[in-house]
Every structure is written in C-alpha cells, then in structure tokens.
Amino acid sequence: MTVSRRRFLTLAGGAAVGGAVAGSVAWSRLVEDTVSSAAAGPIHPDRVLVVVEMSGGNDGLNTLVPLDGRYRDLRSTLAVAEADLLALAGEPAYALHPSLAPLAAHWDARQMAALAGIGLEGQSRSHFQATDTWSRGTAQRVLTGWLGRWLDATAEGDAASNPLRALALGGRSTTLLAEQSVSTYVRDPSGFVIDPLPGRDAEALIAALLATAEPLSSDPLTAAVQASLPSTVEATRLLNEAVGGRAGELEQLGQGRGAYGQASALLSVAADVLDLGVGTQVVVVGITGFDTHDGQGPRQEALLADVAQGVDGFLQAMQDQGRADRCLVVTTSEFGRRVVPNASGGTDHGNASVQFALGPGVRGGVVGGTDLVGLVDGDLPVVVDTRSLYAVALDWLGGPTDDVLGGTYDRFDLLTA
Amino acid sequence: MTDRETIAWLTRRVGFGPAPGELDELEALGVDGALDRLLAPAGSAPTPDDLWADLTLHSEESGERRRYALAAITRWIEALAATATPLPESMAWFWHGHLVTSILEVPYPILLARQINLFRQRGLGSFVDLLAATTVDPAMLLYLDGAGSTAEAPNENYGREMLELFALGIGNYGEGDVQAAARALTGYRIERTTGEPYVVPRAHDGGAQTLLGVEGVRDVAGVVDAVTGHGACAGFVARSVIAHLLGPEVDDALTDRLTEAFAAGGLELAPLVRSCLEAGVDGAAQPVVSGPTPWLVGALRATGAAVEARTMLEGLFAAGQLPWVPPNVGGWPGHTAWLTSATTVGRANLAGAVARGTPEDAPVLVAAAAGDHDALADHLGRPEGFGPMTRTALGEAARVGGRPGDAVLATALCAPEVVIR
C-alpha cells in the first residue's frame, strides 16, 4: 500500500475542520454525568483492538457448550450433537461448536479466552435496550459509546483529527459515538469512493463539495451536516486503496440469512486497512443475523463459521504483516438466548452468553461459567460483567480504563502483558 | 417565512418535496388551500392499487428472487418520486420504518410488496385496524416468526417487538405480557399456493390469556384490543408520527395535546397527520436530516432524472438505507445518524447520478447551468435560497467540466440546505 505517513498527515490536517461529526451525534448536547477523563496519551499507540459485534443476540450456549448432562436435556432437539463437538485441550467442562474449528489452533496456543456467563444485570430482553447498554458500557445515561469515550480521552496531536483512527465496517456501531472524536463508518467497502460524475474532474468536484463546509455555520445542525464532508473525503482517499475492487455486498442480497455482510470479508478489509499504516487503532466489524428465533441450527452454524474463518484469517494476516503481537480481537453480542428452544427450532431472547478474546496478548482459557442450575426466568445467569471484557480491551489499548467505564471491573488476569 | 417557504416545507413533510411546477400551483391556493390540497388524498386510495401487480409468489432460485426483489424496490422508489398522491405514499414509507419487515428474511418479494400495498391503502386509517392487519400480514408472520409458532412452544418474537417497537414502548409491559401475546397469536401458517395466512386450530393456544391486565384474550382481535386500549399506545404511536412530520424533539405540551386528541379520536391517523401539519405551519416544525431514501426520492421528483436501477440501489445500500433492507426490526435510526461517512459517500455519488440523469431541458438543470442559484434552490423545494457557503461552492462547481449544470446540481443536492428537510 502506498499512502505514506507524510501524505497521511497532510490529509488528516485537512480533516481537522471536521471536528466531531463523521461518527454522528457528537456535536449534540450530551449528557448528564459524562465521564470526565484526564486526557492521557495512549501507552500503546501501536496496538490495535478489533471488536466483532454480532447483532441479534448470539446463542452462547451452543457456541461454548457445557459438558453437562443438563445441557442435552434442556436444549433437546437444538443441542449440538456430542460427536460434533470440538474438545478443548486442558478444558474438561466445555467444548466448542464445530463451526469454530478455525479457532482451535488459537485455543491450543493458549491465546484464546472464553468469558462464559457474560452479560449485564437488570436487562430487559429488548434488542435495543441491550444494544444500547452494551454500547454505552456504563450505567450512566450518556450518549457516547465506550470506545467513543476512549477515543475522546486519548485524542492528542495527529490522532485527534485522524478519521481512520477508528473505523466501523458493515453495520453502524454506536460504540464509537464520541463527543469530539471523528470515526469513519463504511457500510459497503466496495462503494467507499466519492466519484459523483465519473469521467469528470473528480478533484475539482470534491473541492466544490468541500467548499459547502467552510466556514462552519453557527447553527449546530447545519454545522454538523457541513462537517461530515471533509473527514469523509479524507477517509475515502485513504481507504480507497485498501478496499477497491471487492465484490459489492448487493450481490449477496437474497442469498439467504448469514450470507449478507460477511465477517470474513469485513475482517479482510480491516487487515488491509491496518496494512496502510495510517494510525488505525480501533476497528468495529458489525455483522447481523444472530437473532435466531427459527431454524437456529443451520443459521448459527453458518454465522459462527463466518466469524471463525474471519477472525482466524485476520490474525494470520496480522502475522503476515508482522503485527501479530499488536492485535486483540474481542466479540460482543447484546444478549444470549433462552435455554429451552421454541417451536420454530430456534431460541428466544435470553440473558448471559459467551464472548471471546483472542490474540497473542491473551491468557487462554475459560473464565466465569455457564450455570445451568441457577437459571433465572429460564435464562443463564450473569456471572461475568460485560465491562470486564471492555476493561481487558481498554487495558490492551493503554487505558484510561476505569475512567472510560466509570468503575473498576475484574480483568480476570486475561492479558499476559 | 413566506407562504411559498411554508408550502415548500409542507411538500417536504407531506411527501418528498415538490415536482416541477408544483410550488407555483400550490402557492396560488394560499397556505390553507395548499394544506387542504395536499391532505385531500387522505382516506382515498393511492393509485394504482397494486404497484407490483405483475409479481407472482414463486420465483424459485435465490438469484431470481434477488432480481425480483431489486426490481420491486426500484419500482417503489420511482413510484414515490412520481406520485400524484404524496401523502399516502409517504405514509407507506413511514410505516415501513415503524412496522418493520426485511426482505432478507422474507423469501418472496410479493409478500413484502403486498405489505407495502397494505400500508399504502390503510396507513392513514385507524391504527387499530392497521396493527390488526399487520399482525397477520404474511411478510410480518415470516419476518417475526408468527408463522409456525405453536401452542406447545410459542415464539415470542412478534409479541415482544410489537409491544416494544410497534405499539407501546419499553417499560409499558412485562415479560408475562410478551408471553401472553405470543400464546394468543400461535397457530398461524402461510398457505403455499396463495401466500395467504391461515390458522391451524390444533396449533393455536385457545386458552384465555391475561394481556396488559385484560382478561380473556384468545386471538388477534383480543391482542390488538388489549394493546391499542392500553394507555401508552396513543402516545407511543403519536410520538412516532410527530417525529416523522415535525422532528425528533417537539415540545411536550404540543405532543400531549396531539396525543390526547389522537386517543380521543380512537387512534384515527388522518386527523393526527392534519394536526401535526397545522402545528408545523404554525411554527412547531424542526429541521431534520433526511434519510438517503427520502432525499433521493425528493431529488428524483424535483429533477425528473432517470437513474439506472443498479446505480440507485448500490448508492442507497452504501448510504445505509436500501428500502426493504432495514438494519433490524427497529428500522433505520434517523436524523443525525445520517451524518456518517457511509451516508455522505453514498449521497454524493447518488447526487452525481441524479445530475447526470436529469433531462437537458429540466428547469432545475437550466438554472444550475445558468448559475441562477435562487431558481436552483426553488426548483429543489427550497425557495428560501442557499446560504453563502453553498453559493461559494456552487460557484466552484460551475468550473468543473462536463455538461453545463451537472456539477452544480450535484453539489446543490449535497448542500446542507437540501440535506436538511
């Protein structure tokens, strides 16, 4: 990839006028009780965090299966067949869904941790309330996401105006909503190029578009619309090289659930963006389809296979780029699912689930646990707070973790350094 | 505001903005006359009855389904832009974002087409009837798993989303209500040859459920009565309609007044829509950032542009708002959520496609080519004109090569004055 650091700084300087807006509501009035954070420079500016957001509520119980007779009784027809389960070295109590086979090597290398029984207390079973609370990562009523607050808390110098410091690929992510920091959202990587009149002078037209944005209006909404242009223009110029020439997502429409917005395709874009070396520290990959109220077996099988291939491929690409030791990948999903299946061969909304952290900096193994005895209203109980996963991720980036989360959460000693 | 500005606002909120010449016609009627004219289609069915009369149920292979689905979406966008009855058409668009269904989980495009036809026909009637019809609408039964839900193991998907997102809002029901609604709605199937819903008696839980404090609920009618009879329903639905027509943060006193009248009138939607628009004319309207689809429809309507279907759909997809493909059952997040880089890129490229597709003799292109910024703004439904930054930008765009007016029109379509409806 050919964007030099020097060129990047020039471009990013042009984006500074954009201020807060590419990621969206940052300009607006925030906030009761915004978490205040002393701006501390990141201790690990070369580290990268990748969050795979599995929207819809992934069924953790069939993802990391407890080797417990009660599982088979409760899950009945939806239980993963015993012969298909992937045994985990050194782990007598759990096995993996067979679709996660590409991750087995990471487990064996002790670089994959499972947080079992993870979730948030006091949730309803609403997708939207749960997604909202997971995104905020604090009980306080803020409009920012947990990663958006980290971006704000650590934005200094070049980083503050770098539209590619944080990138959302696929689904829109509210975890990146910040007060000041710009982030870039790419829905369809193949179409992330501004060329409104092909064959004409694109630079001249983009210059005209940029002229709508300067100076910023005193009306905040107008200013927000104006400001969305410059940072987007810079992001497209940088990203174009990483994402050009891929098949459009539109091709996949109608190919069935799960074939749409593939994690593996988006993570491969993420790897290429990191290869550009333009200061990207956070990538959020948003995929959907996990709301498996019906026909869960084959649907989850395809979804987990996509995630596993994507994560494994990403970590291998990082190794090829010589960045393996700088990357942490974590998964999130707004809730788990009910233990007992419904009549449609699926499961309804539940509570605690399983999430993973992977990378050379991770101390492998299972923490927490899947408790099939202490069910609460038919749901698995929460034994690990979601914020523990966030604390590990933010520690990886260098913090300030507790400020961002508004509290201190158990890290379960999941990072080796 | 001048009368022309007020009327232009009405065309943007009743529908998607003015067609060429429409502002002149409406201005001659005065503001009240224009409002009456724009509301006149309320209660009368839009034409044609069925925008997708040529679709059939079985279009077997997934590649074929994709082709039919994309063609059906294209037809809807073009119909929205060309309509002579903007209110029922734009209310159908509104309901598509409120009573949400996605083609990704409904294998037959005709079923989603039928649902949109339902919204077109009944989107200004009674919310009670609309909710009842939507609850057993085949696309909805497939999307939220009502089809196949049985008495032995009821599927909660529709019951929960209906209470949370369609009718009451979170905090106004309990888990027991979700389960009671799910049980009362068990037993539905879709008939394979017609695509119509039917009930399998042995799969239906006929027991008396207690839903939201109402006893003896056993079926769709009972569920809809209990839900629409709940004290939170009028306010929840009214707030959604108010946000659509007036903006996201209308003051509480006005919201309360509109809600009370909506409740007292038995959840009839047409009077609520009229009251909202009257309040808007009186100054209660707020600026709202257009979603990519309403923005594109408005641009197509104002320019008369012909845009290749694939370009249009890819642009909307990249911008994050392809009709029939909402991100989830909550529909599209609105307003400032449309300021992301993804939307900015998609919008800029669509603006160019619209400019390229605009006929040579279209008044909007003539004004753009002549550098007549006031006329250009007026043709785009903004008689108040452009601000100084946009004027500077349009001046720069005039120096971009190609067909005269193309770059100016594309730039104008991306200007804050046009992006904010």
pLDDT in the model for residue A238? 79
**With an 8 Å Cβ cutoff, are B390 and A201 in contact?**
no
Q: Which residues of B touch A348 (CB under 8 A)?
A: 155-157, 160
pTM of the model: 0.86
Structurally, chain A folds into a number of domains equal to: 1
Q: In 3D, which of A201, A235, A12, A168 has the Cα closest to residue B345? A: A235
Q: How far apart are CA B13 and CA B285, in angstroms?
A: 10
**With an 8 Å Cβ cutoff, are B104 and A260 in contact?**
yes
Instruction: Using pLDDT thresholds of 50, 70 and 90, give the confidence band for residue B104.
Output: confident
**With an 8 Å Cβ cutoff, are B317 and A348 in contact?**
no
Phi, psi of B217 (to 5 degrees): -80, 125
Please identify which residue in the block is written with the tokens 């108010």: B242
Q: How far apart are CA B89 and CA B82, in angstroms?
A: 10
pLDDT in the model for residue A116? 98
pLDDT in the model for residue B41? 55
pLDDT in the model for residue B153? 87
Q: In 3D, which of B336, B299, B333, B318 has the Cα closest to residue B418? A: B299
The beta-carbon neighbor of B314 closest among A208, A248, A294 is A248
Residue A293 · residue A342 · CB < 8 Å: yes
State how beta strands A91-96 and A64-66 pair. antiparallel
Query: Is A246 in CB contact (< 8 Å) with chain B?
Result: no
Q: Say if A105 falls within a structural domain.
A: yes
Q: How far apart are CA B212 and CA B180, in angstroms?
A: 9
Please, what is the average pLDDT of chain B? 94
Q: Which residues of B touch A27 (CB under 8 A)?
A: 336
Q: Per the structure block, which two tokens stand in for A92?
A: 């007598």
* Chain A from 362 to 401: CB within 8 A of any B CB: 377
Distance between A205 CA and the closest CA of chain B, angstroms: 6
Tens digits of residue pLDDT in B373-384: 999 999 999 999
Other residues' Cβ atoms within 10 Å of the Cβ of residue B231: 10
Q: Per the structure block, which two tokens stand in for B414?
A: 């991306």
Mean pLDDT, residues B338-344: 92
Residue of A nearest to B327 (CA): A171
Measured CA distances, A239 to A281, A391, B335 (Å): 15, 29, 26
Q: How far apart are CA B101 and CA B118, in angstroms?
A: 13
**With an 8 Å Cβ cutoff, are A232 and B319 in contact?**
no
Residue of B nearest to A215 (CA): B389
Residue of A nearest to B158 (CA): A293
Residues 6+ apart with CB under 8 A from B361: none
**With an 8 Å Cβ cutoff, are A293 and B70 in contact?**
no
Rg (alpha carbons) of chain A, rounded to whole number: 21
Q: In 3D, which of B12, B170, B16, B161 has the Cα closest to residue B98? A: B161
Tens digits of residue pLDDT in B343-355: 999 999 999 999 9
Q: Say if A394 falls within a structural domain.
A: yes
Q: Say if A411 falls within a structural domain.
A: no
**With an 8 Å Cβ cutoff, are B152 and A207 in contact?**
no
Assign residue A134 the CATH number of its domain: 3.40.720
Query: Is A17 in CB contact (< 8 Å) with chain B?
Result: no
> Of all helices (H) and strands (E), which one includes residue B275?
helix B269-279
Of the listed ranges A234-248, B140-154, B187-201, B406-420, the one predicted with least confidence: A234-248
Q: Which residues of B touch A346 (CB under 8 A)?
A: 145, 155
Query: Is A77 in CB contact (< 8 Å) with chain B?
Result: no
**With an 8 Å Cβ cutoff, are B416 and A212 in contact?**
yes
pLDDT in the model for residue A223? 93
pLDDT in the model for residue A26? 28
Query: Is A194 in CB contact (< 8 Å) with chain B?
Result: yes
Query: Is B192 in CB contact (< 8 Å) with chain A?
Result: no
**3-state helix/strand/coil string of chain A:** CCCCHHHHHHHHHHHHHHCCCCCCHHHCCCCCCCCCCCCCCCCCCCCEEEEEEECCCCCHHHCEEECCHHHHHHHHHHCCCHHHCEEECCEEEEEECHHHHHHHHHHHCCCEEEEEEEECCCCCCCHHHHHHHHHHCCCCCCCCCHHHHHHHHHCCHHHHHCCCCEEEEECCCHHHCCCCCCCEEECCHHHCCCCCCCCCCHHHHHHHHHHCCCCCCCCHHHHHHHHHHHHHHHHHHHHHHHHCCCCCHHHHCCCCCCCCCCHHHHHHHHHHHHHHCCCCCEEEEEECCCCCCCCHHHHHHHHHHHHHHHHHHHHHHHHHCCCHHHEEEEEECCCCECCCCCCCCCCCECCCEEEEEECCCECCEEEECCCCCCCECCECCCCEEHHHHHHHHHHHHCCCHHHHHCCCCCCCCCECC
Q: Say if A393 falls within a structural domain.
A: yes
Q: Which residues of B touch A341 (CB under 8 A)?
A: 153
Cis peptide before A400 (omega within 30 of 0): yes
Residue of B nearest to A290 (CA): B328
Q: In 3D, which of A221, A163, A150, A167 has the Cα closest to residue A18? A: A163
pLDDT in the model for residue A35? 30
**With an 8 Å Cβ cutoff, are A204 and B400 in contact?**
yes
Q: How far apart are CA B259 and CA B169, in angstroms?
A: 15
Query: Is B357 in CB contact (< 8 Å) with chain A?
Result: no
Phi, psi of A343 (to 5 degrees): -80, -10
Query: Is B238 in CB contact (< 8 Å) with chain A?
Result: no
Query: Is B394 in CB contact (< 8 Å) with chain A?
Result: yes
**With an 8 Å Cβ cutoff, are A288 and B69 in contact?**
no
pLDDT in the model for residue A22? 34
Query: Is B308 in CB contact (< 8 Å) with chain A?
Result: no
Measured CA distances, A181 to A145, A196, B354 (Å): 11, 27, 32
Distance between B346 CA and the closest CA of chain A, angstroms: 8
Whether the pLDDT of residue B161 is over 80: the answer is yes
Measured CA distances, A234 to A198, B116, B275, B345 (Å): 19, 39, 44, 11
**Which one of B341, B350, B396 makes the best mutation probe of the A interface by having the most chain A beta carbons within 10 Å?**
B341
Provide the residue range defining the domain that includes A123.
Answer: 5-29+37-405
Q: How far apart are CA A22 and CA B340, in angstroms?
A: 5
Instruction: Using pLDDT thresholds of 50, 70 and 90, give the confidence band for residue B10.
Output: very high
Q: Tell which wins on pLDDT, B45 or B133.
A: B133
pLDDT in the model for residue A298? 95
**With an 8 Å Cβ cutoff, are B393 and A209 in contact?**
yes
Q: Per the structure block, which two tokens stand in for B363?
A: 């008044």
Task: Judge if ipTM > 0.85.
Answer: yes
Q: Say if A413 falls within a structural domain.
A: no
**Which one of B173, B339, B384 makes the best mutation probe of the A interface by having the most chain A beta carbons within 10 Å?**
B339
Cis peptide before B48 (omega within 30 of 0): yes
Query: Is B2 in CB contact (< 8 Å) with chain A?
Result: no
Residue of A nearest to B160 (CA): A126
Alpha carbon dihedral A96, A98, A103, A105, in 10-degree steps, equals 90
Q: How far apart are CA B357 and CA B399, in angstroms?
A: 20
Query: Is A243 in CB contact (< 8 Å) with chain B?
Result: no
Q: Per the structure block, which two tokens stand in for B161?
A: 């989303």
Q: Which residues of A touch B333 (CB under 8 A)?
A: 172
Instruction: Using pLDDT thresholds of 50, 70 and 90, give the confidence band for residue B201.
Output: very high
* Chain A from 295 to 324: CB within 8 A of any B CB: none
**With an 8 Å Cβ cutoff, are A188 and B342 in contact?**
yes
Mean pLDDT, residues B255-262: 98
**With an 8 Å Cβ cutoff, are A212 and B344 in contact?**
no
Residues 6+ apart with CB under 8 A from A73: none
Query: Is B71 in CB contact (< 8 Å) with chain A?
Result: no
Of the listed ranges A271-280, B23-32, B170-179, B236-245, the one predicted with least confidence: A271-280
Question: pLDDT averaged over consecutive 10-residue blocks of chain A (417 residues)?
Answer: 28 29 28 32 79 97 96 96 95 97 97 97 85 87 90 83 90 87 82 89 95 93 92 86 52 39 86 87 94 94 96 96 94 96 92 97 96 93 97 96 95 93
The beta-carbon neighbor of B328 closest among A25, A55, A214 is A55
Q: Which residues of B touch A125 (CB under 8 A)?
A: 160, 175, 178
Reported as half-sphere exposure (CB side, CA atoms, 13 A), residue B163 has a value of 26
The beta-carbon neighbor of B154 closest among A22, A221, A342 is A342
Domain boundaries, chain B: 292-419
Residue B328 · residue A56 · CB < 8 Å: yes
Residue A113 · residue A364 · CB < 8 Å: yes
- Rounded to a whole number of angstroms, the distance between the first and last alpha carbons of chain A is 31
pLDDT in the model for residue B355? 98
Q: How far apart are CA A59 and CA B143, in angstroms?
A: 19
CB pairs under 8 A between A and B: 234
pLDDT in the model for residue B280? 97
**With an 8 Å Cβ cutoff, are A294 and B155 in contact?**
yes
Mean pLDDT, residues B255-281: 97
**With an 8 Å Cβ cutoff, are A254 and B103 in contact?**
yes
* Chain A from 83 to 122: CB within 8 A of any B CB: none
**With an 8 Å Cβ cutoff, are A349 and B156 in contact?**
yes
Please identify which residue in the block is written with the tokens 């899950």: A75
